[in-house]
Amino acid sequence: MFLGKVVGTVWATKKTPDLEGVRFLVVHPIDLDKEPTKNIVVVADRLGAGVGEVVMCAYGKAARAAVGDQEMAIEAAVIGIVDRVDVQEELARSDELVESARELRRGSDG
């Protein structure tokens, strides 16, 4: 599993039949190694996550199980929309993770 921020949506009018009705999001994983990551992951989303939200995602078999179809042609999926992340700032190695946790706390406080 990984945490990431939704940064966009993928629109595909033509796709394999097993993917009909599935939304796809562009997720930027939250880096845990202080190194800026330029990677993005396209994930299936059946929970209705939106741009700017932090999500929990799974890869492989866990992703397919989360969407309820082991035969689905996906590699990653949203398995949760994060409300809050509590991080021991002195132990965290990623400024982006600390900032994401602060943003989520501000959002849940009111």
* Spatial separation of the C-alpha atoms in residues 21 and 19, rounded to whole Å: 6
Whole-prediction pTM: 0.76
CATH of domain 2-83: 2.40.50.220
Q: Residue 54 pLDDT more than 70?
A: yes
Average pLDDT estimate for 68-72: 82
CB 10 within 8 A of CB 24: yes
pLDDT band at 108 (very low <50, low <70, confident <90, very high): low
C-alpha pair distances (Å), 34 with each of 74, 92, 94, 96, 98:
29, 9, 5, 8, 11
pLDDT reported for residue 35: 44
CB 75 within 8 A of CB 63: yes
Domain locations along the chain:
2-83
* Spatial separation of the C-alpha atoms in residues 59 and 33, rounded to whole Å: 20
